[in-house]
Amino acid sequence: MGMPELTGRRAALIIGGVSTALLLGALGFQYLGGLAPCPLCMLQRYWHLMIVAAVGLYIALPRRLTAAFGALMSFCAAAVAFFHAGVELKWWEGPQGCSGVAENMTAMGGAALLSLDSVAPIVKCTEVAWSFVGLSMAGWNGVITLLVAGLWVICWRRCS
């Protein structure tokens, strides 16, 4: 028996599985591994939710336009991931809210600042929380999401 043909529908299901796995992995790192997400990490999660929504749209309406929408969501997700990896590597500065400096605490009242019960960790986008073979979580997210974008191109090409 040979390998089944990679139809647009199968590619979309793989895409949905990959983005869901990335989201579950991020949640696992957060809730099981104790690695709180930074603002850029959270932004990457939102893009993957959009990719999963695009898969649902593609399954319901397999057209080139829905595949192009999914590809756009994937390229945006990869861009955010690679931007985050660049921030971690100090190639460029990240958003001000990612620095973890004191201005992040200006919204807190005096009592909350003094209370040890309400202390939440300030997670910096510039710090690598986890890496594997030299790539951070953000770097791996970018690589995998580019592969997902390639699968969207297959969906696009196999649509009428």
Whether residue 45 is predicted with pLDDT greater than 80 in this model: the reply is yes
Per-residue exposure over 61-86, b if at least 16 CB sit within 10 Å of its own CB, e if not = ebbeebbbbbbebbbbbbebbbbbbb
Instruction: Give how many domains the chain has, as a whole number.
Output: 1
User: Half-sphere exposure of residue 21, counting CA atoms within 13 Å on the CB side?
Assistant: 11
Q: For residue 97, what is the DSSP state?
A: G
CB 139 within 8 A of CB 82: yes
Which CATH number does the domain housing residue 96 bear? Answer: 1.20.1550.10
Residue 93 lies in a domain: yes
Residue 142 lies in a domain: yes
Q: What is the pLDDT of residues 57-76, one digit of tens each?
A: 999 998 999 999 999 999 99
pLDDT score of 97: 74
Residue 1 lies in a domain: no
Residue 55 lies in a domain: yes
What is the pTM (predicted TM-score) of this model? 0.81
Identify the three-state secondary structure at position 9: helix
Q: What is the pLDDT of residues 139-157, one digit of tens each?
A: 999 999 999 999 999 999 8
Residue 152 lies in a domain: yes
Residue 50 lies in a domain: yes
> Helix 137-157 and helix 64-88: axis angle, to 10°?
160
Whether residue 109 is predicted with pLDDT greater than 60 in this model: the reply is no
